[in-house]
Chain A
């Protein structure tokens, strides 16, 4: 378990970037990404194109593995344990059981204990995070709203998860039973939070990060690393923006450095509002 969980510790303070081809993977690594997420379409395009979104072609994942020396992650559909088996066989370093792809199972997530490859799962609130941990997830990320370039949902999810953790640390032992009921989460995990004040796996931020300031906001709120999806390669000038987000994630409390790295990056991705948006975040149970 230390081996499975340990890699998430190594990714802390870093930026994991979505890439759709080897050229983008090189740009991400050159910019200082601590890992890449290999997928066929970034979330903004998945949103635009509609249809069923699935695991990437193994050939494409292998193409990205071949050009990078940093960890490579890939996405499987919620509940699609065969896609996860294939990703493990391909030797990817992390599987993201992701709501960005079309769910394959509307009741069950993957039994992640059945795998040697570690999993990251999205969550919108603490109950969801604890259910994923109870299934064997080694890392939790906020879901946010992928492909929107709008940080508002990620902030909502981080505040919800971390706010409830803060409340639980103040609860007495009788109240913990009620918390477990309300959160629909295993009691031992709730009791552990009351004791430690944190999730037992790292909490990263994903979904809507488009600027260095967005990344630093997530980190100051309490995320331990960030995923950037469409925000880099849907912007005008990906390489400098990628470098700036890496700097901002490291120096997230240093406003002077944040001001410096935020300069002259060109236009960020065009964000979209939440009103007429399909909510990927509602996928997951």
Chain B
């Protein structure tokens, strides 16, 4: 119905996999690397990857402040893994110079689930989905504190792994790594993009 374009932050990380998932549920996508790209999108996905690398590239590309403004104005955004770290109000075990956008009131610990040898996958129930979702955790960040306004959409062993506050949705895991695009669809439907 609409000409809405969903941006995928393409500075570094799993942006191609997110584009594939978004397209599979009917969205038009655009890779976002500079602020002129961001001007064209009505929603944004921030992928997994290396959050310290992305933090630097957000600053050097001039995207950081423009993105902060768009988030403040309510741009729907879905951040997975490193994307969640970049959206959090507080990052534990980050680098001193690492910047985050403070768009959702959570504290996350980088690599909170450990290194690659500790990475795992498991099925988790998700609010709004009739069947469990197969979640892949890779050097995943761990949520250690939630603000009062944050709604938990899924937990893994009692720890929130999918959460939403206003226009911002975050996941510790990687919904883009499996063919199941239900979380992308849920995000887009929630914000009336599809």
A3 touches B95 (CB 8 A): no
Chain A positions 236 through 265: 1 when the CB is less than 8 Å from some CB of chain B, otherwise 0: 000000000011011100100000000000
B56 touches A32 (CB 8 A): yes
Q: How far is the CB of B140 from chain A (nearest CB, A)?
A: 10
Q: Within the complex, which residue of A2, A13, A71, A116 is in contact with B12, where a contact is CB–CB below 8 Å? A: A13
A29 within 8 A of B: yes
Q: Within the complex, which residue of A71, A224, A254 is in contact with B139, where a contact is CB–CB below 8 Å? A: A71
B169 within 8 A of A: no
A246 touches B53 (CB 8 A): yes
A3 touches B121 (CB 8 A): yes
Interface centre among B12, B34, B115 (most CB of A within 10 A): B12
A69 touches B33 (CB 8 A): no
Using CB atoms, name the residue of chain B closest to A251.
Answer: B33
B13 touches A12 (CB 8 A): yes
Q: Within the complex, which residue of A5, A12, A116 is in contact with B49, where a contact is CB–CB below 8 Å? A: A12
A58 within 8 A of B: no
Q: Within the complex, which residue of A6, A35, A250 is in contact with B138, where a contact is CB–CB below 8 Å? A: A6
How far apart sit A109 and B12, CA to CA, in the bound complex (Å)? 31
Segment of A87-95, A98-106, A160-168 engaged in the interface with chain B: A87-95
A117 touches B116 (CB 8 A): yes
Segment of B14-22, B99-107, B151-159 engaged in the interface with chain A: B14-22
Q: How far is the CB of A50 from chain B (nearest CB, A)?
A: 33
B57 touches A3 (CB 8 A): no
Using CB atoms, name the residue of chain A closest to B81.
Answer: A10
- Residues in B with CB closer than 8 Å to A116 are 117
- Residues in A with CB closer than 8 Å to B12 are 12-14, 34, 249-250
A91-B117 CB under 8 A given contacts A7-B139, A10-B14, A12-B16:
yes
- Residues in B with CB closer than 8 Å to A92 are 116
B111 within 8 A of A: yes
Using CB atoms, name the residue of chain A closest to B174.
Answer: A6
Using CB atoms, name the residue of chain A closest to B15.
Answer: A13
B52 touches A32 (CB 8 A): yes
A13-B11 CB under 8 A given contacts A2-B177, A71-B139:
yes
A69-B95 CB under 8 A given contacts A6-B177, A32-B52, A32-B53:
yes
Q: How far is the CB of A88 from chain B (nearest CB, A)?
A: 7
- Residues in A with CB closer than 8 Å to B24 are none
How far apart sit A116 and B115, CA to CA, in the bound complex (Å)? 12
- Residues in B with CB closer than 8 Å to A246 are 53, 56-57
Chain B positions 125 through 136: 1 when the CB is less than 8 Å from some CB of chain A, otherwise 0: 000000000001
How far apart sit A34 and B13, CA to CA, in the bound complex (Å)? 9
- Residues in A with CB closer than 8 Å to B57 are 32, 246-247, 250
- Residues in B with CB closer than 8 Å to A34 are 12-13, 49-50, 53
Q: How far is the CB of B29 from chain A (nearest CB, A)?
A: 15
A14 touches B13 (CB 8 A): yes
Q: Within the complex, which residue of B10, B48, B94, B110 is in contact with A9, where a contact is CB–CB below 8 Å? A: B48
A3-B136 CB under 8 A given contacts A13-B15, A14-B49:
yes
B2 within 8 A of A: no
- Residues in A with CB closer than 8 Å to B11 are 13, 250
B115 touches A91 (CB 8 A): yes
- Residues in A with CB closer than 8 Å to B177 are 2, 5-6, 9
Q: Within the complex, which residue of B10, B48, B95 is in contact with A10, where a contact is CB–CB below 8 Å? A: B48
A33 touches B53 (CB 8 A): yes
A193 within 8 A of B: no
Residues of B in contact with A (beta carbons under 8 Å apart): 10-17, 33-34, 48-50, 52-53, 56-57, 60-61, 81-82, 93-95, 110-111, 115-117, 119-121, 136-139, 174, 176-178
16 contacts between A and B (CB under 8 A): A2-B121, A2-B177, A3-B120, A6-B138, A7-B139, A9-B17, A10-B81, A11-B49, A12-B49, A13-B10, A14-B12, A70-B52, A71-B115, A117-B116, A250-B10, A250-B11
